[in-house]
Amino acid sequence: MSRILSAEGVTFEFTVPVVVIGGGAAGMIAALAAHERGAEVLVLERDALPQGSTALSAGLIPAPGTRWQRAAGIEDSPERFAADIIAKAKGEPDPADVSRVARAVGPALEWLADRYGLPFSVVDNFTYPGHSARRMHGLPSRSGAELIDRLRGAVEAAGIDVLCEAHVTALYADDGPRVRGVEVTRPDGSVERVGCAALILACNGYGSNRALVERHVPELADALYFGHPGNQGDALLWGEALGAATRHLSGHQGHGSVAHPAGILVTWATVTEGGVQVNTEGKRFSNEAQGYSEQAAVVLRQPDGIAWTVFDERIAAVARQFEDFRQAEAMGAVLSADSPADLARLMKVDADALAATLAEVGRLKAAGGSDGFGRSFAGSAPLVAPYRAVRVTGALFHTQGGLVVDDGARVVSGEGGALPNLYAAGGAACGVSGSKASGYLSGNGLLTAVALGRIAGAAAADAVAADAVKEESNQ
């Protein structure tokens, strides 16, 4: 249904200067930024309640040089963060794109805290893979559900209109190609036409579009999809139809630690703090510490696409700061035993194989050595009873490639320059993870949602105001 229709002769029921498609973090932040710049804004959300992929995430946003880091004695900077992003993606992302979001995200979090009361704090008790500083910021529950709830509350308090159960099924554009409005289809099949002076695409990527996943990320074509079902690739398809440039469409975030069959994300702290993953034969099969995104495909290559993450009570205590982990425990997804043999029995894996695996891990930790997969256990505390284990599978979370944007988050044309009045943020825009799962640095998804969301909202509002002034002067 991602159509581009001619705007010639079309009458719109009403017109709003800035229209935002998508009510996740990117869309809500864009709306707040545009409203703050004086623009009238309408958010169109296909669901009955704005949530998006944000609600399914851990709600953690990486940001350098923040006041919360300084209070915790953490040294960091946008340049250091940008270097980490580029290193993880092996030099693939455009340095200008990386610098743009690395510089913008910290001030955006402080703006959300100061202006809208979001009580962020920094995760200061463990480091995510690929980050050279502790820079993950979250709300008290460390959940994406709380993040989107608070953003939705801020939007409501600001008096910004949010129209739910409003599925945008087409864009109206002229030959510019300037977007003139959108077609909104309601649950009862009725259609409304809403005009706009600027349009912000904040409807994420294409993770729920099986055909696009098969085309761009074939290794995860049959994987569990752990994102929002509304991520059908509308922004990508509209942009391509309008002549937009795209980049890194095979880039994506996977995750090798979704509790199965509970369907709950299990924090990767279970691994970074010293846990390991074994398959259904009780044997390790990879360097788990390389990153949770690339681990998704690795887990899926195991028998039945299943693995077990094995850790201990010390690590579980760290993991309990995350609501998802607490939910997994409450559902009985996290097994507990006082010995490897008892744990193996609960896991229904070979007891001798699991005991040998954990013994080898213990020796490597004691010696500070590295294993045959290249994982270093130097400085890693031993696993001790009581042990914990959770059955997991690999999943696709969201895509990272998308529409190329400029410094104002305007969508760039494939022929150069920017499209007249089209903006993109979050998963609709090309992220900073490159073309592979291994390029995903923890938090890259919400990084572009927050940073580009604010940039897009402010830039769209400013452009609309400038156009209005120009039109007045020409009259």
- Tens digit of pLDDT for each residue in 157-208? 999 999 999 999 999 999 999 999 999 999 999 999 999 999 999 999 999 9
Among candidate residues 329, 332, 290, 284, the one with its CA nearest the CA of residue 310 = 284
Tell me the torsion sign for CA atoms 182, 188, 190, 195.
negative
**In this structure, what token pair is assigned to residue 192?**
């409304």
Position 435 pLDDT exceeds 70:
yes
* Torsion from C-alpha of 424, 151, 69, 275, nearest 10 degrees: -90
- Residue 1 confidence (pLDDT): 55
Quick one: what percent of the chain has pLDDT higher than 90?
90
Cα separation, 305 vs 297, in Å, equals: 9
- Residue 471 confidence (pLDDT): 80
- Residue 183 confidence (pLDDT): 98
Q: How many residues does the chain have?
A: 475
Is the pTM higher than 0.85? The answer reads yes
**What's the pLDDT tens digit per position in 71-129?**
999 999 999 999 999 999 999 999 999 999 999 999 999 999 999 999 999 999 888 88
The answer to whether the CB of 384 falls within 8 A of the CB of 297 is no
Position 250 pLDDT exceeds 80:
yes
Position 371 pLDDT exceeds 80:
yes
Q: What are the chain's domains? A: 3-248+400-474 (3.50.50.60), 252-396 (3.90.700.10)
- Residue 64 confidence (pLDDT): 98
**What's the pLDDT tens digit per position in 293-327?**
999 999 999 999 999 999 999 999 999 999 899 99
Cα separation, 300 vs 236, in Å, equals: 27
**What's the pLDDT tens digit per position in 46-69?**
999 988 889 888 899 999 999 999
The answer to whether the CB of 44 falls within 8 A of the CB of 166 is yes
Cα separation, 228 vs 275, in Å, equals: 29
